[in-house]
Amino acid sequence: MMEFLYFPEDKTEYIPAVISLGVFIALAVLVMFLIMRVSKKQEERTEEQYGSQQAKKDDSLSYKPQGK
């Protein structure tokens, strides 16, 4: 009935599959950390570039009463 499923009697045939699964999981975790690192650098660069412009804009828009 379910001939497309294959479960080997010799369980050592699972070893290559487990090794390749481990390699792919390790690579996925590594890529995730690299993406997070690059994203953090881009966030800092954007904040550095546009944060100062926003502060200048906020200063020019704020109400400053004239003293006597």
Q: What is the pLDDT of residues 41-53, one digit of tens each?
A: 999 999 988 876 7
d(C-alpha 65, C-alpha 59), whole Å: 13
pTM, entire model: 0.61
At residue 39, the pLDDT reads: 97
Give the tens place of pLDDT for each residue, 2-59: 577 888 899 999 999 999 999 999 999 999 999 999 999 999 999 988 876 766 666 6
Per-residue burial over 22-52, b if 16 or more Cβ lie within 10 Å, else e, is eeeeeeeeeeeeeeeeeeeeeeeeeeeeeee
